[in-house]
Amino acid sequence: MTRSFWVSLHRWAGLSMAGFLILVGLTGSLLAFGHELNHWLTPNLYPGPHAGIQLAPAALLRSAEALVPDALATSVDLSVDGTAIIRMEARPGAPAFNFNRLLLDPVTGQELGRFDRDGLPTTLANVMPFIDRLHYSLAMGEVGAWILGIVALVWTIDCFVGVYLTLPLPSPPNRRGYLSRWRPAWLIKFSSSFYRVNFDLHRAFGLWLFAILLLFAWSSVHFDLNGFYTRTMQLVFDYEPPYSGTTKGGNPAGGRAPVGWEEAQAIGERLMGEQALAHGFSVERPMRLSIQRKSDLYFYGVRSSHDIGDNFGRTSIAFDAYTGELRAVRLPTGRHAGNTITTWLVELHMANVFGLPYRIFVCALGLVIVMLSVTGVYIWWKKRVARCRATSSRATIDENRIGAAVLTNSASLLFRDERPSPNCTTTRRPRSA
């Protein structure tokens, strides 16, 4: 394939992605400080950590169901310090209600507030959840996730194409060395024209940040195009796919109800303790307890010594909601190479490692992604204008040439018409004597 093909591919891929990357870049910059922004916007819902012994997950779930008798709790998330986030759904046959998240104080169990996480940002409580949905799915559910997944895949490929286009063309042996000719691609000449500065910014930042841009592009494929990501990782690494594709409980005949929250928590703690002994990790604190009624499974998650993030915990197990039988174990690191790599990709993408300096870097990176998209569009536009002008100039020159030729031919014809025909004789008047 010729270089012109890759230039065209990079141009049209960049133009098709620009709007999406500007959106995810801006929202990603905000999400790097999502907890702080949530606390700033709604301190009543996210008061931050405070003294006291945290209630057990089962107790918080029971408190939520007592506060909303017509609703069923499906999960509790303790990843945000100072707030327990309970996912709620209407009981079968009960009227629908206008919220799906109930926030409780994890120490006292008192209600902090409730809101619809899937709603429009009409209240301050919905602002950051809406930004989160914009970032991961364009706030369009599965359709938006598919769109961004395809964009992420194109972005991943285009990262390599962009670097290839910065490489210098082959030259005779007597010319400068290869690296010395490649060196200008890494530099920004701020004293040059506005167009040249934009071009240098686009090219140099794409080179300097190639690895981290590729990381964010491929991890975005994991979030939004997980089936493709899973199959690709399994070709190269030992990778265990998500629960949804491999696990399912068994609803026994007779319509027996799943075990209650308290028993589920006890089973989860016992099974997690067994896995900690088997795989050599320690449990630090519980993070979530949930039920997936469609698959008849309970999930119990903790933060363990296998977790690498500053916050959250991704060590989890799945067990049968009726028998308590272990169905799956998910360790973030140390068990499968592909899952360890994926955990690092996720934590780096979510700015959940290396503390505040890296979060500031990720926030700035989102703005750099916006800059790369804007400069790419600007470069294309300027080149398009230049091509249009060149085409117009060539057309004008051709028209002038055609016009000149027509005039010349017309003059020639007129001159021939005025000249006497060679077949005619002219009679001269005799001169006067």
What number of residues does the chain have?
Answer: 433
Q: How many CA atoms lie within 13 A of 198 on its CB side?
A: 16
Q: What is the pLDDT along the chain (433 residues), one digit of tens a residue?
A: 688 999 999 999 999 999 999 999 999 999 999 999 999 999 999 999 888 899 999 999 999 999 999 999 999 999 888 999 999 999 888 888 889 999 999 999 999 999 999 999 999 999 999 999 999 999 999 999 999 999 999 999 999 999 999 999 877 766 778 888 999 999 999 999 999 999 999 999 999 999 999 999 999 999 999 999 999 999 999 999 877 645 566 666 556 788 999 999 999 999 999 999 999 999 999 999 999 988 899 999 999 999 999 988 999 999 999 999 999 999 999 999 999 999 999 999 999 999 999 999 999 999 999 999 999 999 999 999 988 888 877 766 766 676 665 555 654 544 454 445 444 444 444 444 3
Look at residue 425 in the predicted model and tell me its pLDDT: 46
* Rounded-to-integer distance, Cα 419 and Cα 410, Å: 14
Distances from the Cα of 128 to the Cαs of 135, 367, 388, in angstroms?
10, 18, 44
Q: Find, among 112, 238, 200, 216, the residue nearest to 155 by Cα.
A: 216
Q: What integer pLDDT is reported at residue 189 of this predicted model? A: 94
pTM of the model: 0.87
Taking the C-alpha atoms of residue 38 and residue 65, their distance in angstroms, rounded to an integer, is 25
Per the listing, tokens 């702080």 go with: 36
CA angle 337, 339, 340 (to 5 degrees): 65
In this prediction, residue 429 carries a pLDDT of: 46
Return d(Cα 83, Cα 68) in angstroms, integer: 18
The pLDDT of residue 151 is: 98
CB 31 within 8 A of CB 382: no
N- to C-terminal Cα distance for the chain? 90
Sheet holding 315-320, edge to edge: 111-115, 101-104, 84-90, 71-77, 283-292, 297-304, 315-320, 326-330
